[in-house]
Amino acid sequence: MIREFHLADWFTLANAVCGVGALFSVMSYLQSQAVFHLYIACALVPAALVFDVLDGRIARWRQRASAMGRELDSLADVISFGVAPAAIAYGLGMQGLYDRVVLGFFVACGVSRLARYNVTAEKLSEGGDKVRFFEGTPIPTSLLLVLVMAAAAWQGALGDRLWFGVVEIGGFRLHPLVLMFAVSGSLMISRLRIPKL
């Protein structure tokens, strides 16, 4: 199987490794409470974005795009821009029942968004080689959420000290900051047309 990989595919796999590294860093934070691990987790998401951008450019440069590469790209993006940001949010303290529901919704939206893209990419390219626009916001826009969380960690806004505090509804907790994930997920599965640069 490795012999079938193109150069771009290795960059896609590096994207996925960054996402998994972010997950490991969040787990290390939860074990040690050393905030440094959260910083690493947050830094690995933009690193994943660099690899995500490079894999597409390399595939176009070498004219080696493939169906397998597209699937690899989507799977890597789910890890780095869906699961990793949700895990970072959990590590920051968004651990109430409602928080978990919202974070699960966000990941489900990201998976759905990528599946829709893969199914409709040929139609959206209008017969050409390149997709001209995105339908719904691309999943890497979750980098904005990660930047907000990195700023919160930097200011010591962790656990119940998270910005906007914590609300108890029906005996279960909700950190209002988690609602940015609900908005982001909803935008991903929307019908917004965003030109692809």
pLDDT at residue 72 in the model: 87
pLDDT, tens only, 84-117: 999 999 999 999 999 999 999 999 999 999 998 8
CA atoms of 76 and 78, how far apart (whole Å): 5
SS3 labels along 102-158: HHHHHHHHHHHHHHHHHHHHHHHCCCCCCCCEEECCCHHHHHHHHHHHHHHHHCCCC
Q: What is the pTM of this model?
A: 0.90
- Residues of the chain with pLDDT below 50 are none
Full set of structural domains in the chain with CATH: 2-195 (1.20.120.1760)
